[in-house]
Amino acid sequence: MADIGVVGLGTMGAALALNIAENGFSVAVHNRTSAKIQDLLDRAGSLASRLVAAETPEDLIAALTPPRMVILMVPAGAAVDQVVATLVPLLDPGDTIVDGGNADFNDTRRRGADLAEKGLHFVGMGVSGGEEGARHGPSIMVGGPADSYARLQPVVEAIAARYEGVPCAAWLGPDGAGHFVKTVHNGIEYADMQLIAEIWGLLRDGAGHGPAQAAEVFAGWRDGPLESYLIDVAVAVLSATDTATGRPAVEVIRDSAGQKGTGRWTVIEALKLGQSASAIEAAVAARAWSSMIAARGAGARRFGAPGGGGAPDPADLADALLAARIVAYGQGFGLLAAASDHFDWSLDLPRIAEIWRAGCIIRSVLLNDIATAARDGLPEGLLILAPAFADRLEATVPALRRVVAAAVAQGLPVPAMTAALAYFDTMRQDRGTADLIQAQRDFFGAHGFDRIDGRPDRHGPWAQEGGAGRLGQD
């Protein structure tokens, strides 16, 4: 009998199944097309003895030791509902279905409530780290009933990445908490990737650097405060050569970025919660703009290509990237805090930062300081006001300002850096400009406003003068 089942043997599912088997558990594996089952067995090597091939859902359930645990590694959305509908009649009360895909946390909450009525457990498990992480140690974010995690915990902690010996995995809260945290992780990932791409654009289109020269710039940042997996990836990509043409690999890639939805979900949920994660929003928008290749070509022909005015000093670029990265991470953690309050999840923000330190895509040296700052308490709930980060921003924002100004002067787009700078400047402005917005809303819609002197008057003097009706009159 197998300890756990895995349904869906695509890239991530197959890698996760092998990881589980390598850590001493027997795994029943099933896929809609049986060819993938055989393919997994063929490449499992010595681990094949711990894999049980299940040609049908009935075979899968029969192979599992009760109470059963089944991990789904299928595409988010309708496919999950279809597999769940197939499995539910075969399961007994107390059995657990674990969704290990990039699911919308709203779907996870719905599925959890539906299955609870049938006496079944449903767990949403975010898995970060790509194929390599799934195979050798991902960061794992779990949400669902706490008692459901008790049986899953030994498997999760065995297969997770480790940071200084501690598993980068945790139960984070009920229902959709795990998938929500994974979604925000991916939103931060969008922002981080976009910021790095904007630096590449400044080096390429501003200073005329080729990929190899730009790789040297990024490589110089590997051992400082920008140390991170994504910086390592940038160096590797910019240093690579296309085997078919002999050209730098990045130069033969169509510049139209794909997305699977998690960045967009992050933005949607931020807006629902009244939290504008602007750096993430800018990154999502930039991916959408990137797909408009024909339109961008027409724009280049009509208005001329930007750039050519040189790039800022690499030290300024490094400081600008650090400042913008702090803002992006801070916005992500602010969204996590808002969701925790709204859904009564009691998310452990320091622990989330800790489980992101290894295995996941956004792992970086910055997360150690974020964990410490969150544990000490964030002033007004803002990472940028935590003493260590406030000091860093004070030192690096001037460079961010110079870099954004230089990019704007050349017409080079840096939407995520611009959004990060605008957020920072807004949060340091004691009195902004929303007073005029409130006045206008009251003028045309009688929405009212709060006064700074505490008086009860809720409307401006224009209300007595007829408001909008007086416009255009003598």
Question: Catalytic positions, please?
Answer: 182, 189
Alpha carbons 192 and 188: distance in angstroms, whole number = 6
Phi, psi of 265 (to 5 degrees): -60, -40
- Which of 191, 170, 325, 328 has the alpha carbon at shortest distance from 264? 191
> Are 263 and 186 contacting, i.e. CB atoms less than 8 angstroms apart?
yes
Give residue 51's identity as a one-letter amino acid code. Answer: L
Q: Cβ neighbours of residue 273 under 8 Å, at least 6 residues apart?
A: 335, 338, 339, 342
- Which of 123, 14, 13 has the alpha carbon at shortest distance from 67? 123
- Asked if the peptide bond before residue 67 counts as cis, ω within 30 degrees of 0, the response is yes
Residue 473: CB atoms within 10 A of its CB come to 6
Give the three-state DSSP class for 265.
helix
Query: How many Å is the Cα radius of gyration of the chain?
Result: 25
Instruction: Provide the token pair at 61.
Output: 């359930």
Give the three-state DSSP class for 64.
strand
| Crossing angle for the helix pair 415-427 and 387-410, to the nearest 10 degrees | 130
Alpha carbons 248 and 123: distance in angstroms, whole number = 44
> Are 421 and 324 contacting, i.e. CB atoms less than 8 angstroms apart?
yes
Give residue 464's identity as a one-letter amino acid code. Answer: Q
Work out the widest C-alpha separation in the chain, in whole angstroms: 90
Name the strands in the sheet holding 121-128, side by side, starting at the edge strand that comes first in the sequence. 51-53, 27-30, 4-7, 69-72, 96-99, 121-128, 139-143, 169-173
Alpha carbons 439 and 430: distance in angstroms, whole number = 18
Helix (H) or strand (E) holding 57: helix 57-62
Instruction: Provide the token pair at 60.
Output: 């899968």
Instruction: Provide the token pair at 292.
Output: 């408009």
Give residue 104's identity as a one-letter amino acid code. Answer: D
How buried is 274 (Cβ within 10 angstroms: 0-12 exposed, 13-18 middle, 19+ buried)?
Answer: exposed
DSSP 8-state class, residue 206 = I
